Amino acid sequence: KAAESNDISVKLVFQDWISTSTIADFLIDRDIHGKLLEALDPVLSKIITPKHLESFWEKAEQVHSTERSTILSIIASSLKKFDENVTLNFINRITSADKISPELLEFLANVAKSFTTLNIQLSLHIIDTLIAYGEKLPDDVNPNGSVTALAIFAPYGQNSQIQRRIIDVCSDRIIS
């Protein structure tokens, strides 16, 4: 209705909003039904900027699990379009948190898997980062340290470089 208003002040505010905002900005600030987000995933993953990644991640940490999976899917799709530094910075920032939920850890493991064909070095970095995260947890939270972290990657063992990384980490832990 604002776009159709005859009031000049309304038109100016609407024009200003439309020229300074994106649909991603709008959706971050709203509670949007999961089905609508799913329908918008192909579009959002193309227009999201690095700044939006952070905002969508924060939203994913706060929303109900039914909406969270869609937001995480949008983030995963978006990561593939960014250069390696943007993705590395994003992964490093989110894994620096003191506590990451199991669902978000699984998401990161899936991102690592999705990058095995696109950028194996980035995939291995995510694996290393998740292992380091698992190891820094106190024993009462994660009594098996890296073993728990490595269990996430068991289904992805078809890739020889991932297999090698898992073997190296396990042998380092067993020897030390």
* Confidence band for 137, pLDDT divided at 50, 70 and 90: low
Q: What is the mean pLDDT of residues 11-22?
A: 64
CA distance linking residue 150 with residue 112, whole number of Å: 13
CA distance linking residue 120 with residue 158, whole number of Å: 13
Q: Would you say 87 and 54 are in contact if contact means Cβ atoms under 8 Å apart?
A: no
State residue 86's pLDDT score. Answer: 93
What single-letter amino acid sits at 58?
E
pLDDT over 60 (residue 76): yes
State residue 105's pLDDT score. Answer: 80
pLDDT over 60 (residue 60): yes
Tens-digit pLDDT profile for residues 84-96:
899 999 988 888 8
* Confidence band for 141, pLDDT divided at 50, 70 and 90: low
* Confidence band for 112, pLDDT divided at 50, 70 and 90: confident
Rounded to a whole number of angstroms, the CA Rg of the chain reads 20
Q: Convert 89-104 to b/e letters by CB count within 10 Å (16 or more is b).
A: ebbeebbeeeebeeeb
pTM score, two decimals? 0.68
Q: What is the mean pLDDT of residues 141-164?
A: 59
108's CB contacts (< 8 A; 6+ apart) are 91, 94, 95, 100, 126, 129, 130
State residue 69's pLDDT score. Answer: 85
- Among 48-62, 92-106, 149-163, the range scoring the smallest mean pLDDT is 149-163
Q: At what angle do helices 50-62 and 84-95 cross, to 10 degrees?
A: 30
> Which of the pair, 107 or 137, is modelled with greater confidence?
107
Tokens of 45: 């993953």
State residue 51's pLDDT score. Answer: 87
User: How many CA atoms within 13 Å lie on the side-chain side of 133?
Assistant: 26
Chain centroid to Cα 138, Å, comes to: 24
